[in-house]
Structure 1
Amino acid sequence: MRKSALFIIALMAGLLLPAAPASAHAGLQRTDPPSGSIVAQAPRQVTLYFTEAVTPVPGQLRIIGPDGKRADRGEPSVGGSQVSIPLREGAGRGTYLVSYRIISDDSHPVSGGFAFSIEAPSTTAPGVLGGSGAEVDPVVSALLPISRYLGYVGLLLVVGPVLLMIGLWPTRLSRPGKLVWTGVGLLAGGTVLALYLQAPYVTGGALFGASGADLREVLSSRFGFTGLARLAVLAAAVPLLRRVLAAKNTKSDQIILGVLGTVAALTWPLAGHPSASPAPPLTVAVDLVHLVAMAVWLGGLVGLALHLLPRGTDGELRALMPVWSRWAGWAVTALVVAGVAQALIEVGTLPALFNTRYGQLLIVKAVLLAGVLGMASVARRKVLTGEPKVRRMVFGELAVTAVILAVTAFLVQQTPARTEAALPSASANLPFSATMNNSLFKLQVELDPAAVGNNTMHMYAFTPDGKPIKVLEWQVTVAMPSRDIAPIEVAVLQLTDDHAVGELTLPTPGTWELRFTLRVSDIDQATVSQTVQIK
């Protein structure tokens, strides 16, 4: 039995090694001013709109001005999924970089940045910044799914064996105390580890870089409250578990344990995806059913594999296995129904199922579950035909379900497909920005949207040391030598001495060449060029 237990533990531990980086679960939908835009006058504030309610990470919402100094003032305001950062008064001409790090409603951090310009871009303006991938220390990223996995394994090692002891355990057999206390330890340890990891996960710090203030911030959040509640429930359950292991439990003990187990399982959906879904009460309830059914089924299988099947007599197994098979059937039915409901809510559409990482992991989980259900069906038929010795089949189920648990631990770290599908496409075209230099001038060009079709091009001229320069004449052409498209002249409207705008149509994707000839005096003119990839 000891070798069997070590086999299962080693298998579960081995599956944790290829930990994937955590992904953020809220997404930045749009901003005001828009990313990459040029506005005529300074806005009073910069507003970010996310796909779900968010909470700012203290001190990590910033606006950096053209001079490299902070340009935000006061505290940001938050209203659900909207965050506004006040801009300092008198913000001058140039490019401003907005950086943010917030906590999404399902306890995961989101970070990123974007740029906009007032009147004209800075001469050293960076390209438009985008993306919302949380920057997480790789060690923290690797430990996050491990902490969740430990919690899941701990839950099933408590729930399943306790249920067997209450309803099916032969009186002559000793009770699996080591198994249950291992579950208690894993559940407590996984929860404590998750609470600690949440601090560097949210702040983007190193594994041991969390401060006391960071930890207090976590413990005062919903994630911290649910984790502490789980530990409190576990502590309250310990005396009752002792009574069950000593076969001295009463009906009242069983009811209280059932309530405590339900509350403990409820802490996961309250701190995760379900609480941030479009219908939280429904998704929390569905996730709770899914989690409890998993704990009953898999925990019961562990109890069977390590204790009842190797130690029970044929007569005992013939009596208890049909009952267990019926219980397992109910649990699996609840598991599948709840899983389908979860998928419908979290995925939403068929394309999202196949085109997002969340959906792809869900498919892997479904295929593995189908394999387990096939093995369970074979085992059930053997039991019903009077063959109680199905230990090898049970170990097969455990091996595959260990993989399912690992997939689940990674799945909860992914952005739900419904959220990812609601975000602007990663392949969406962003404005193109480039700076060209020669001995006469420096030219800043912004092409929007840098896509096939109609585009608007803004051009800003500066002296080599960065001061606005008067341009007497602008000549602009676009060409695609690879397709034998000869230079096409672009009509240019001069708005100010140093600023001109042109409208151009790019009929085909590929690499286009932009050429700019600027005359800055009666005798001084020069030409610069730049290629741009159009999709």
Structure 2
Amino acid sequence: MPFKTVDRRRALIVLVGLLFGLFGPLLAAAPASAHAALVASDPANNSIVPDAPNRITLSFSESVQLISGKIQVLAPDGSRVDQGDPSVSGAEVTIPLRTGGGRGTYLVSYRVTSADSHPVAGVVTFSVGAASTPPTADGVAEAAVDPVVKAMIPIAKYLGYAGLVLLVGPVLVLALLWPHRLERRGPGRLVWTGIGLVAGSTLLGLWLQAPYTLGTGLFDVTPSDIRDVLGSTFGAVMLVRLGVIVAAAFLLRPLLIGNGGADSKLDLALLGVLGVAALATWPLTGHPTASPVAGVSVVIDALHLAAAAVWVGGLVMLFGFLLPRASARELGAILPIWSRWAMTAVGVLIFAGTVQALIEVSTFDGLINSTYGRMILAKVGLAAVVIGVAAFSRHLVRKRAAAETPGPLRRVVLAELAITAVVLGITSVLVQEPPPRTAQVAETGPVSTNVEETLAGKSMSLQVSVFPATVGNNSIHLYAYTPDSKPLPVVEWKATASLPDKGLENIEIPLLRITDFHAIGDIQLPFAGEWTLKFTARTSDIDQETLTMTAKIS
């Protein structure tokens, strides 16, 4: 069979591997849209407060950035009560409100961008005086992401990873291993393709970030939306990547068209610096920035990318150019060096991948029962196969038979490339999936142990707040209302607490009358359990009512 026919068939196999790597994971999992979570709010979610606050505070699990026009507060009648622009400090968002809001349930709608560039959206409700039907209105922020945008994001990331592979590995081989007698036109086209893919994926990523964060369609993007993206941390990092790629393109031209003897050491040093800068832009727009140890995660992720780009890019050069074109003598000198490179790169990949998994997954349950963890396991399984294939290729190199008859080694390298193409596809989806450490926070949501309950009597309605509802000192707020939700003046308050399981009966709760219908008190609750709270409100010389409730103290 002619060599060209065999070569075309092998190239077709590589293409199939690349396509499967790109689209296969997309069928298995859709990218998530939120990697931060609301952990607290003031007023607390579903709480009842006596007076309308003059501001609302939202606290998230990681630092966030505001999205213009995506935060609003609706009064019980559906009107907007937020005034001025909200402000953000790290993980805390403050929303100023108009004063003098009416009674009833308020709705806070928010959509912000988390530290790892993903949108976070949701609603919080609280009530003033008493609960009512929550307001509804058009324009409330939702967590939804347009399906086309959702599908395009991992494609853009895959193109970026592919470009990085076609750029880093081939440049290193050209600079340090390429035989002087061989022309560089073919490898040069490969490198220019890598530059184009990285630049194109970066521009596409900048475009997609606008509808992704706003929750709009792919083409529902205005110039102001793009300006907002460029003004964000994500946009700044992506612009740095573009600048580095342009600078690298100028420095690479002599290397790509020269004969190997005129390569400037200064240019190579500058290329190394630019390479480090470019690699750092990937973790700076992803999970590592929101890691509990962000500095470590960014460095580890950059090392992971660098090792993969060197290894896979080197394999592409080996398969596409060196094995078919280099002489046996040249291969005898090149292959042992490349084998050491590959072994080092694999070692770095294993080390960096292990550290990343420990940081992002942290628990065995997270590894088994989360989409992120299962995708990590899939990567590990495929990586184990690739490493096994790589070990066999290293065995061939050590036998030095590959220099004489490179065909078997070329088939082994082809297998490595096909599998690593799938791994790149999984990675493209994985970086969009929330890791277990943030998914657990998102599932838990804002945590509050406060007890809020409204007790209905014959002649009155009593709103009770107990906080923090934990062992130790607790504050109690009491609000008295008529059955039609109007403030009810109370002449005298009495309250007791009991925990029969521990033999504690009728512990008096001292109360202080704040207004006609509002009283507060403090009490030490020494044990966890189901406490019985009894309240007596005297509204005249002869009228009084006693109401009882159970409060779970943890």
| 1:8 paired to 2:14 | yes
User: How much has 1:376 moved relative to structure 2?
Assistant: 0.7
Paired with 1:109 and 1:358, the residues of 2 have a C-alpha distance of 18
Quote the residue 1:168 is aligned against.
Answer: 177
Asked if the contact 2:372–2:436 (Cα under 8 Å) also holds between the matched residues in 1, the reply is yes
Asked if the contact 2:33–2:145 (Cα under 8 Å) also holds between the matched residues in 1, the reply is no
Q: Quick one: structure 1 residues 367 and 426, their matched pair in 2 at CA, closer, same or farther if it must change by over 3 Å?
A: farther
Quote the residue 1:150 is aligned against.
Answer: 159
Asked if the contact 2:53–2:99 (Cα under 8 Å) also holds between the matched residues in 1, the reply is no
Quote the residue 1:404 is aligned against.
Answer: 423
Equivalent position to 2:202, from 171, 191, 201? 191
Paired with 1:217 and 1:5, the residues of 2 have a C-alpha distance of 42
Cα deviation code 1:280-319 (max 9, x no counterpart): 2222111111111111001111111122223333333233
Cα deviation code 1:231-274 (max 9, x no counterpart): 11111111322211223422222212111111111111122222
Paired with 1:385 and 1:304, the residues of 2 have a C-alpha distance of 17
Quote the residue 1:361 is aligned against.
Answer: 375
Cα deviation code 1:187-209 (max 9, x no counterpart): 11101000111111111111111
Asked if the contact 1:21–1:138 (Cα under 8 Å) also holds between the matched residues in 2, the reply is no
Equivalent position to 1:345, from 352, 356, 359? 359
Quote the residue 2:410 is aligned against.
Answer: 391
| 1:296 paired to 2:310 | yes
Quote the residue 2:191 is aligned against.
Answer: 180
Quote the residue 2:438 is aligned against.
Answer: 419
Quote the residue 1:437 is aligned against.
Answer: none
In the superposition, the TM-score normalised over structure 1's length comes to: 0.78
Q: Quick one: structure 1 residues 222 and 500, their matched pair in 2 at CA, closer, same or farther if it must change by over 3 Å?
A: farther
| 1:207 paired to 2:218 | yes
Paired with 1:157 and 1:461, the residues of 2 have a C-alpha distance of 74
User: How much has 1:347 moved relative to structure 2?
Assistant: 2.3
Amino acid paired to 1:52: E
| 1:377 paired to 2:386 | no
Equivalent position to 1:26, from 16, 36, 54? 36
Q: Quick one: structure 1 residues 81 and 501, their matched pair in 2 at CA, closer, same or farther if it must change by over 3 Å?
A: farther
Quote the residue 1:517 is aligned against.
Answer: none
| 1:503 paired to 2:549 | yes
Asked if the contact 2:160–2:198 (Cα under 8 Å) also holds between the matched residues in 1, the reply is yes
Q: Quick one: structure 1 residues 502 and 73, their matched pair in 2 at CA, closer, same or farther if it must change by over 3 Å?
A: farther
Paired with 1:233 and 1:187, the residues of 2 have a C-alpha distance of 11
Amino acid paired to 2:58: L
Q: Quick one: structure 1 residues 500 and 267, their matched pair in 2 at CA, closer, same or farther if it must change by over 3 Å?
A: farther
Equivalent residues in 2 for 1:1-400 (5 A)?
A: 1=7, 4-17=10-23, 19=26, 20-122=30-132, 124-125=133-134, 134-175=143-184, 176-246=187-257, 247=259, 248-388=262-402, 389=406, 390-400=409-419
Cα deviation code 1:369-398 (max 9, x no counterpart): 111111111111121112313111111111
Paired with 2:445 and 2:45, the residues of 1 have a C-alpha distance of 14
Amino acid paired to 1:206: G
> What's the secondary structure of 1:111's corresponding residue?
strand
Cα deviation code 1:321-340 (max 9, x no counterpart): 11111111111111111111
Paired with 1:10 and 1:229, the residues of 2 have a C-alpha distance of 33
> What's the secondary structure of 2:72's corresponding residue?
strand
> What's the secondary structure of 2:444's corresponding residue?
coil
Paired with 2:108 and 2:284, the residues of 1 have a C-alpha distance of 31
> What's the secondary structure of 1:278's corresponding residue?
coil
Q: Quick one: structure 1 residues 352 and 133, their matched pair in 2 at CA, closer, same or farther if it must change by over 3 Å?
A: farther
Asked if the contact 2:167–2:191 (Cα under 8 Å) also holds between the matched residues in 1, the reply is yes
User: How much has 1:366 moved relative to structure 2?
Assistant: 1.5
Paired with 1:327 and 1:274, the residues of 2 have a C-alpha distance of 26
User: How much has 1:427 moved relative to structure 2?
Assistant: 12
Paired with 1:126 and 1:70, the residues of 2 have a C-alpha distance of 10
Amino acid paired to 2:147: P
* Bigger mean CA offset, 3-12 vs 153-162: 3-12
Cα deviation code 1:407-444 (max 9, x no counterpart): 111111122322223445379999999xxxxxxxxx9x
Paired with 1:83 and 1:99, the residues of 2 have a C-alpha distance of 12
Asked if the contact 1:29–1:424 (Cα under 8 Å) also holds between the matched residues in 2, the reply is no
Paired with 1:185 and 1:462, the residues of 2 have a C-alpha distance of 71
User: How much has 1:493 moved relative to structure 2?
Assistant: 7.6
Paired with 2:121 and 2:148, the residues of 1 have a C-alpha distance of 18
Paired with 1:79 and 1:318, the residues of 2 have a C-alpha distance of 59
Equivalent residues in 2 for 1:427-506 (5 A)?
A: 503=549
Amino acid paired to 2:14: I
Asked if the contact 1:237–1:260 (Cα under 8 Å) also holds between the matched residues in 2, the reply is yes
> What's the secondary structure of 1:110's corresponding residue?
strand
Paired with 1:133 and 1:381, the residues of 2 have a C-alpha distance of 55
Amino acid paired to 2:61: T
Amino acid paired to 1:141: K
Amino acid paired to 2:244: V
User: How much has 1:184 moved relative to structure 2?
Assistant: 1.2
Q: Which runs of 5+ in 1 are unaligned?
A: 434-442, 449-457, 471-489, 507-535
Q: Quick one: structure 1 residues 501 and 153, their matched pair in 2 at CA, closer, same or farther if it must change by over 3 Å?
A: farther
> What's the secondary structure of 1:152's corresponding residue?
helix
Paired with 2:287 and 2:535, the residues of 1 have a C-alpha distance of 51
Amino acid paired to 1:405: L
* Bigger mean CA offset, 132-141 vs 30-39: 132-141
Quote the residue 2:496 is aligned against.
Answer: none
In the superposition, the TM-score normalised over structure 2's length comes to: 0.75
Amino acid paired to 2:145: V
Paired with 2:384 and 2:334, the residues of 1 have a C-alpha distance of 25
Q: Quick one: structure 1 residues 14 and 367, their matched pair in 2 at CA, closer, same or farther if it must change by over 3 Å?
A: closer
Cα deviation code 1:109-150 (max 9, x no counterpart): 11111211111121x3379xxxx9832111111111111111
Aligned length: 464
> What's the secondary structure of 2:76's corresponding residue?
coil
Paired with 2:36 and 2:249, the residues of 1 have a C-alpha distance of 37
Amino acid paired to 2:62: E
Q: Which runs of 5+ in 2 are unaligned?
A: 1-6, 453-460, 467-478, 489-531
Q: Quick one: structure 1 residues 160 and 119, their matched pair in 2 at CA, closer, same or farther if it must change by over 3 Å?
A: same
Paired with 1:395 and 1:39, the residues of 2 have a C-alpha distance of 67
User: How much has 1:276 moved relative to structure 2?
Assistant: 2.3
Amino acid paired to 2:76: P
Q: Quick one: structure 1 residues 460 and 412, their matched pair in 2 at CA, closer, same or farther if it must change by over 3 Å?
A: farther
> What's the secondary structure of 1:112's corresponding residue?
strand
